[in-house]
Amino acid sequence: MKHLIKSMVCLIATMLFTLNLTAQSFKSTICNPDGTVTFQYQNPQAKEVMVDVQFAGRKPMTKDTNSGLWTATLGPAAPDMYPYCFVVDGVSVMDPQAEQYFPNEGFKNSLLEIPAKQGSLAHDIKDVRHGTVEYIHYYSESLKTTNNAIVYLPPGYRRNREQHYPVFYLISGTTDTEEVYYKVGRMNYILDNLIAEGAAKDMIIVLPYGNPMKLLPPGDMHNQSMQPALQFGGDPFSKDVINDLMPYIEKKYRTVNDRDHRAIGGFSRGGNQGLSIGLSNLDKFSYLCSYSSFTSTAIPNVYDNAADTNSKIHLFWLGIGTDDFLFGNGRDYMEFLDKKGIRNVKEFTNDKFGHTWMNAKFFLDKTLRLLFNPEASEEAMKEGKPAPAATGNEPQFTPGVMARMFPRPIISPEYTKDAVTFRMKAENAQKVTLKTDFADSPIEMQRDNDGVWSVTLNGHALDTFEYYFIVDGTNVADPNNMYLSPAKGFKPSYTNSPFAPYSFAAMGNIEHGVVSYNLNRQTAMYRSPAQGRPQASIQLIPAEGMTVESWFKVGGADAVIDKLTAEGKCKHVMVFSGDNPRRERPGNREMNVKVLKADDFKTWQERRNALVNLLNSL
């Protein structure tokens, strides 16, 4: 009997070791020499798993019953970047091993990068001089709240103090955040490469958030903020760009402020927004770019006065895939422009899976070569071809298509001043719980008749914390929350309550600092809004498995310092984030480096309190 028990114990131990070894040693994506990709996902308790990737669609995976490892080999596919996810018993989950992800208000996808030989892709990270990427916050009178954007500064911007630069306002698509043209579209690396080749002008690129209504606190406009922004012209976004964002950029950065040195455009909804704003403000923009989009044909004083309009536009560039679901609408708009005599350039693809960011990157590379180069733009405009004839089979984007693609989302998290409610739809799940960073055990959620699970927490709505759902044993980020914690592996969601003590939404019209990132080197730097020489330096060490973004995005270090600076409670500080603490500069006693390690604290509330205490002690 003892021998039998001992044998069973050894067998169980061996099985556990094997499972653990498999979980630790396998790669979730393998790019094979023949161009195929092998996907692997560890989940022994799952009944069915599929992989959903842009180049192949949704395909079943096969389970190894001994290890619980699910696999599928798909393709071949052309080198590029592709969004993908795993569908586990009907619930979409991100790859828990993938560091790169697709920022979005709704769906949660990881990113697969199939490399090309010898760095032949426009977005490849090459050994060239790189520009700087900065995250900014500014008060918007149009929205009556704080908005955010991303700014790319070309190589040499900090050294060439006398040089001023043209500006390209580049807008992402429906449900995309302002990060998508950076983290998926790789606008910075595309332009870095072109500048290094001498194929594009030095310029500043500004990435606005195309749906700022979603940033508004609960109130009269709450229901609107839950829907994708679809109005163009006179809407809050357009007003914010013209009246708030542009003045901020032109005050804070060295820009050339005339129509000949401003461009605007975007992908999908962003292309619609860009054309609408640009055509409505031809006194401010002369370069217009639409990627996989179209816009209103009822903009006053534009289409019926072709000679005047043409005289004001250096470049009117339109690109779309013939396999794009917007192709019919885009073709119709091109034909409309031709009939009105409005000059334009057209570009078509048929090999990049339609309405995708493969197309968005391709189109961006094409147009960056022309922006702020009147001679090259004029040559391209002269060679513009008429729109292809209609066949009657082109897909058209209708309200019905919109409703199917973007159904009304489930609101999660939903805030009141003293509570927060989390929801997730999982119709076939047997059990769903909520795991937070402040509770040792998961919190039970309740299911309604529509298959939506929910739970309301009291007393935690006034601070930020990480959380995720556990659906029948599988960890899932909140599919309705655009805020993902920047981890290197599994990425939980985090709350961003407008009622939190250091919420940007509640700060009013104050000055804000700037956070700049170098994600390849995993470094970040924050410059506070105070003027003059910094009086102190702080090094913020990320927690194990987290990126340098975590202290700012989740911890709100920039928000804390912005608010304390506005209240006169904080010295002018320089903040760095990275794994290696910075040393005090020799002979510079004022720059005494203080270090905070995230791993010394359990929750983000504790980490933020430690930062506040440190700032108060300086």
Sequence ranges of the domains in the chain: 28-119, 132-382, 414-494, 510-617
CA 388 – CA 331 distance, rounded (Å):
7
What is the rounded average pLDDT of the residues 483-488?
96
Distances (CA, A) of 512 to 216, 271, 355, 507, 508: 18, 29, 36, 10, 11
pTM: 0.92
Phi, psi at residue 560, to the nearest 5°? -60, -50
CATH class assigned to 132-382: alpha beta
The pLDDT of residue 5? 44
Q: Mean pLDDT for the chain?
A: 90
The pLDDT of residue 6? 41
> Mean pLDDT lowest for which of 154-168, 368-382, 579-593?
579-593
> Mean pLDDT lowest for which of 45-49, 334-338, 350-354, 579-583?
579-583
Phi, psi at residue 417, to the nearest 5°? -70, -20
Kindly report the CATH number that applies to the domain delimited by 414-494: 2.60.40.10
Would the pLDDT of 201 be above 90? yes
What is the rounded average pLDDT of the residues 207-211?
96
Would the pLDDT of 482 be above 70? yes
Would the pLDDT of 353 be above 60? yes
What is the rounded average pLDDT of the residues 260-287?
97
Strands 49-53, 57-60: pairing is: antiparallel
Q: Which helix (H) or strand (E) holds 564?
A: helix 557-566
The pLDDT of residue 142? 93
537 vs 13, residue with greater confidence:
537
Confidence of residue 347 (pLDDT cuts 50, 70, 90): very high
CA 167 – CA 259 distance, rounded (Å):
10
Q: In terms of C-beta distances under 8 Å and separation of at least 24 residues, what long-range contacts does 614-618 make, across chains too?
A: 614/538, 615/560, 615/561, 615/564, 615/569, 615/570, 615/571, 615/573, 616/569, 618/535, 618/536, 618/570, 618/571, 618/573, 618/594
CA 165 – CA 301 distance, rounded (Å):
30
The pLDDT of residue 232? 52
Would the pLDDT of 2 be above 90? no
The pLDDT of residue 589? 45
pLDDT, one tens digit per residue, over 368-382 is: 999 999 999 999 999
CA 347 – CA 380 distance, rounded (Å):
11
* Topology annotation, domain 28-119: Immunoglobulin-like (2.60.40)
The pLDDT of residue 234? 61
Centre a 10 Å sphere on the Cβ of residue 273 and count the other Cβ atoms it contains.
Answer: 33
Same fold, 28-119 and 132-382: no
Confidence of residue 41 (pLDDT cuts 50, 70, 90): very high
Helix and strand numbers (H, E) in the chain are 15, 32
Residue 69 pairs with which residues in a beta bridge?
42, 64
pLDDT, one tens digit per residue, over 441-472 is: 999 999 999 999 999 998 766 788 999 999 99
The pLDDT of residue 225? 43
Sheet containing 446-447: order of strands: 414-415, 419-425, 452-458, 446-447
The pLDDT of residue 395? 85
